Amino acid sequence: MNKIGFIGLGIMGKPMARNLLKAGFHLVVYDINTGAINELVKDGAKEGKSSGDVASQCEVIITMLPNSPDVKDVVLGINGIIDSIKPGSVLIDMSSIAPLTTRELAAKLLQKGVVMLDAPVSGGEPKAIEGTLAIMVGGPEETFNKIKDILGVMGASVKLVGDIGSGNITKLANQIIVALNIAAIGEAMVLATKAGVDPEKVYQAIRGGLAGSAALDAKMPLILDGNFKPGFRIELHIKDLINALETAKELDVPGVLTGKVLEIMQALKADGKGKDDHGGIIQYYEKLAKVEVRKK
């Protein structure tokens, strides 16, 4: 494969594309934000004029976009991938979208002789920059084996979890656990702070026990600094939880705790905090308790 196409150069996509360039891959890139394209061109990428133009030049195309409608538009819309992609090519969608959308697009691409993999990621901007994302993949094993080395440039963990759509099901499970974990951190640390105990000392005391987690270690230092600069925005986590609850409804699975955390995130968005990092969930508890969890 001489060239890889990369469509979607946002908070996550840009550093992921950069890591591919650093690894020696030739990239053709496209985004509706021309500034993002220009940054990658300076790094050595070639500019694509549209999603379809990228697809016409590459045998492997990666998409990293905000939500299901965006992926559908890039694949099926005007100047989209489906009209220009060559039979035998592979589309790797690394966006976090609804599994039903993934399966719908995969079926249409298969009619063109194109295999699609869904490969959503976890780890946020820091791990996208480091190239240490967790990547969960759905699709045919034969195709996965062909492109695994590409994904390995962007992720420290690259796992095939099942057929097409399985990657996004896995990501929804991941997002439920992450959201509930961060909400629990917020609730617990606001309690400790309101009780007059130093939250930094609480964090250090519990992080080595059963309450310890990757989420606790990733988010607590930022919370203590009052730093809610987005690595993964609350508004995007809202999207994921809505997809999770819609999928749960289709499968007759309860989503009690997921629904409650979604309400918390939606309240924060209504307060103008939708673009904050999801570690900012703690601000919901801080507002109600009239206390801030910060370094002493």
Instruction: Catalogue the active-site residues.
Output: 171
Burial 48-66 (b: 16+ CB within 10 A, else e): bebbbbbbbbbbbbbbbbb
Query: Are residues 194 and 159 in contact, defined by beta-carbon separation less than 8 angstroms?
Result: no
Q: Return d(Cα 18, Cα 27) in angstroms, integer.
A: 9
Pairing state between β 90-93 and 60-63: parallel
Most distant CA pair in the chain, distance? 64
Pairing state between β 121-122 and 155-162: unpaired
Query: Are residues 131 and 19 in contact, defined by beta-carbon separation less than 8 angstroms?
Result: yes
Which residue is associated with the tokens 């918390």?
264
Q: Return d(Cα 269, Cα 273) in angstroms, integer.
A: 5
Q: Look up residue 92 and give its amino acid.
A: I
Q: How far is CA 288 from CA 15, 187, 222, 229, in A?
A: 37, 11, 20, 22
Query: Are residues 107 and 123 in contact, defined by beta-carbon separation less than 8 angstroms?
Result: no
Query: Are residues 99 and 147 in contact, defined by beta-carbon separation less than 8 angstroms?
Result: no
CA angle (16 as vertex; 10, 17 as ends), nearest 5: 85
Burial 93-116 (b: 16+ CB within 10 A, else e): bbbbbbbebbbbbbeebeeeebbb
